[in-house]
Chains A and B, each alone.
Chain A
Amino acid sequence: MKRHLLSAGDLSRDDAELILTTAAELRELADRPIKKLPALRGRTVVNLFFEDSTRTRISFEAAAKRLSADVINFAAKGSSLSKGESLKDTALTLEAMGADAVVVRHGASGAPHRLANSGWVRSSVVNAGDGTHEHPTQALLDAFTMTRHLSGGKPTLEGRRIAIVGDVLHSRVARSNALLLHTLGAEVTLVAPPTLLPVGVDSWPVETSYDLDAVIPKADAVMMLRVQRERMHGGFFPTAREYSRRYGLDGRRMATLQDHTIVMHPGPMVRGMEITADVADSERSVIVEQVTNGVAVRMAVLYLLLGGSEPAVGGEE
């Protein structure tokens, strides 16, 4: 694996399979009474969050702590950044503190890339979501969840049909998933109104469709993306109701799914907008499990990036 995880596109099929296999081992820990391993004892992981994201931050924090790493949480709001400190100076400060890995969430696309490639820090950089670019660990946890339900836990999605529905244009989750799921052999279809598909999407390794009803009966997994409220003012679609009617997942549409098909959402959900409550809370929904799997996948990523050559599970403690 490379030293950083900036894009799901950086992962070869071998890399992705290794992360998923490692995550499966680490996932077993979640069911044990003592959830901690010594693998990263003495290492320091900094969670550098320039955007509010409690969910992702606590997931990374739990992952690092279960591997016995020291964790420093650095939230941009309430720190010197609000006084105008630059990304570079923040990075130099973290470097001086001896961070081994920096987990960065930033509103600007490419900020983790800059952090990794500008010579500001020597530590590994993990992209925890940058602007409208990528969110590779979300894609990994989504893929991990799919393999548990659709592939009997084997780290492959060969031939599986995955529908990703909603605001693809602004979604870092969709970008990372499109790349990673393709790497793992899945057939991905992006479903959205034409206004919410990026220019050039025809060059991505995916199919696209404007018609949700035509796509989901064949899907093995349906991933609903959050539609942010501000998009409604951007003229991307006429009204929230029209969006829900055409692209929302409700009970009627859920009834057209195959028996084994799972429903996913990266969260946070806007219930009643892209997904109705009865679907979100249904037996098919694996939304809560995605959160559990997120910790295991992030443990695997931190462990492998920080040079874990020994098996993660089975060490002394």
Chain B
Amino acid sequence: MSTTYLIKNVSVLGGEPTDLLLRDGVVADAADAPADAETIDATGLIALPGLVDLHTHLREPGREDAETVETGTRAAALGGFTAVHAMANTEPVADTAGVVEQVWRLGREAGYCDVYPVGAVTVGLEGERLAELGAMADSAARVRVFSDDGKCVSDAVLMRRALEYVKAFDGVVAQHAQEPRLTEGAQMNEGELSGRLGLAGWPAVAEEAIIARDVLLAQHVGSRLHVCHLSTAGSVDIVRWAKAKGVDVTAEACPHHLLLTDELAATYDPIYKVNPPLRSAADVEAVKAGLADGTIDIVATDHAPHPHEDKDCEWAAAAFGMLGLETALSIVQQTMVDTGLLDWAGVAERMSYAPARIGRVSDQHGRPVEVGEPANVVLYDPGATRTVDPAESASLSRNTPYRGMELPGRVVATFLRGRATVLDGKLQ
């Protein structure tokens, strides 16, 4: 039988210290703890519900040199995640039931966290015709989130049809908002610095124009829309307006957009190259405020592993993207909790409950840490500090922008249905 864990003196969501029993995959009453239970002294630790990432690139199939489902989910477990949604831009693209079932099965075999494949909206991410969304929804992977992430569904009619079509199985379209003509060859945030550095600009309006169009489309057809990696102050305003109008829209922000700014591009080091790009300090403040007031529903990592050679080169030749799974919770603590913008209940909402609801996996994940609930739990030490060493990452890739930075907090343990995937900060 699986190990029973008695967690002593833990502060659930930052509340008064209490004891938790994890037995047979569920949270049980600590008073019923058997004598042979494995006891964990969790004094000073916080218990959070297992984190849920709505935006992860696991790269398999196709780019197993950058990441595999196994290595990516190991990184996820170390970051406190018990569920990740694997983006569709693999090779081949996850645009058929066959590919999503493969990714789903690989996740089950790895066993570090639950892997929910995201299906492509259009065949081959080409933006020309709908992929077989229904087949992916009906597959063993039970896909509910559809996205051409990396590319924007820029054709307004196609976007409208996708929004309408997924209603049949309670799906959601997660849009990578990037007007393609306004961002041809784009390398970094368009502003004073891009002009000075001679790097082609990625203007805020290219994101905001698509979000504005999509919230109007979602309102028109009465569908559910999710906005991926929102990065600008204008985007926050548009989503806030849409929510006030009753549009069924949700939005995510990435940890790097809560902390890093476009000034880092002045190094020409493509470790800071990401899409959407790092924005201005004013955008960062607006995104943080939007996350605090609930305009932005969730934090999602956009964990994007790339092999070393794709970053150890000139900026324009480098790939977009940065690692995120193992540092997300620390970045959120530093930018949102330590600044007083969110409490731990707010973190649980934005990194577990809400992403699970959006992804329609709330039967298993994003549940409160309470007796009778699935034992998906993270133990986190907010008082710890660590210096990020890329070599220590469980990811196959090393492209973290936080190299050498001192970050607060440490994931001490992660439990997936009562089984420890991480104990004492180490993979099990």
> Which one, A86, A106, A110, A200, contacts B199 given CB within 8 A?
A110
Report B-chain residues with C-beta under 8 Å of the C-beta of A276: none
Indicate whether B130 reaches chain A with its CB closer than 8 angstroms. no
B191 touches A199 (CB 8 A): yes
Report yes or no: A200 in contact with B196, Cβ–Cβ below 8 A: yes
Contact B195 A110 (CB under 8 A): no
Question: Please, how many angstroms separate the alpha-carbon atoms of A299 and B200 in the complex?
Answer: 32
- Decide: B199 and A199 in contact? CB cutoff 8 A: no
Is the CB–CB distance between A114 and B201 below 8 Å? no
- Contacting residues of chain A (218-232) with chain B, CB-CB under 8 angstroms: none
B192 near A200: Cβ-Cβ < 8 Å? yes
Q: List, in ascending order, chain B residues with CB within 8 A of A88's CB.
A: 312-313
State whether A175 touches B196 (Cβ < 8 A): yes
Which residues of B sit under 8 angstroms from A277, Cβ to Cβ? Answer: none
Flag whether B197 is at the interface (Cβ < 8 A): yes
Q: Provided the pairs A199-B190, A203-B192 are in contact, do residues A111 and B198 lie with their beta carbons within 8 angstroms? A: no
B268: Cβ under 8 A from any A Cβ = yes
- Does A133 touch B at the CB level, under 8 Å? yes
B316, A131: Cβ atoms closer than 8 Å:
yes
A132 surroundings in chain B (CB, below 8 A): 198-200
Whether, in the assembled complex, A198 has its beta carbon less than 8 Å from a beta carbon of chain B, the answer is yes
In the complex the two chains form, is A109's CB within 8 Å of B190's CB? no
A109 contacts B198, C-beta separation under 8 Å: yes
User: Which residues on B sit within 8 Å (CB–CB) of A131?
Assistant: 198-199, 316
Q: Which residues of B contact A130 (CB under 8 A)?
A: 198
Which of B192, B195, B199, B314 has the largest number of chain A CB atoms within 10 A?
Answer: B314
The answer to whether B197 and A110 have CB atoms under 8 Å apart is yes
Q: Mark B307-340, 1 if CB is under 8 A from A, else 0.
A: 0010011111100000000000000000000000
CB neighbours of B191 from chain A (8 A): 199-200
Pairwise interchain contact B195-A199, C-beta atoms closer than 8 A: yes
Q: Knowing A110-B268, A113-B268, A114-B268 are in contact, say whether A198-B317 is a contact too (CB < 8 A).
A: no
B313 surroundings in chain A (CB, below 8 A): 86-88, 114
**Residue-by-residue, is A86-115 near B (CB-CB < 8 Å gives 1, otherwise 0)?**
111000000000000000001111110110
Q: How large is the interface on A (under 10, 10 to 19, 20 to 34, 35 or more residues)?
A: 20 to 34
A108 pairs with B194, CB closer than 8 A: no
In the bound complex, CA of A111 to CA of B267 (Å): 11
List residues of B (261-293) whose CB comes within 8 Å of A's CBs: 267-269
Asked if A82 is at the interface (CB within 8 A of a chain B CB), the reply is no
Are B314's CB and A114's CB within 8 A?
yes
In the complex, whether B193 has a CB less than 8 A from a CB of chain A is yes
Query: Quick one: closest A residue to B317, CB to CB?
Result: A108
Residue in A86, A87, A118, A199 whose CB lies within 8 Å of B194: A199
Give CA–CA (A88, B317) in the complex, Å.
Answer: 12
Assess A198 versus B195: contact at CB under 8 Å? Given A86-B313, A88-B313.
Answer: yes
Against B, the Cβ 8 Å flags (1 = close, 0 = not) of A171-206 are 010010000000000000000000000111101100
CB closest residue in chain B, given A130:
B198
Chain B residues numbered 67-94 whose CB sits less than 8 Å from any CB in chain A: none
Please name all residues of chain B whose beta carbon is closer than 8 Å to the beta carbon of A175 when the two chains form the complex.
Answer: 196, 198
Q: Is A200's CB under 8 angstroms from B314's CB? A: no
Complex Cα distance, B195 from A108, in Å, reads 14
Contact: B315 with A200, CB < 8 Å? no
Q: Which residue of B lies closest to A113 (CB)?
A: B268
- Docked-complex contact A108 and B309, CB < 8 angstroms: no
Bound CA span A172–B314, Å: 17
Q: How far is the CB of A243 from chain B (nearest CB, A)?
A: 21
Report the bound CA distance from A111 to B187 in whole Å.
14
Q: Closest CB of chain B to A192's CB: distance in Å?
A: 13
Contact check, A110 vs B315: say whether CB atoms are below 8 A apart: yes
Interface residues of chain A, those whose CB is within 8 Å of chain B, are 86-88, 106-111, 113-114, 117-118, 130-134, 172, 175, 198-201, 203-204
Given contacts A111-B315, A131-B199, 11 further A-B contacts (CB under 8 A): A109-B197, A110-B199, A118-B312, A131-B316, A133-B197, A134-B198, A199-B190, A199-B191, A200-B194, A200-B195, A204-B196
Minimum-distance CB pairs A-B, first 9: A200-B192, A133-B198, A198-B195, A110-B268, A109-B198, A132-B198, A108-B316, A108-B314, A200-B195
Q: Which residues of B contact A (CB under 8 A)?
A: 187, 190-201, 203, 267-269, 309, 312-317
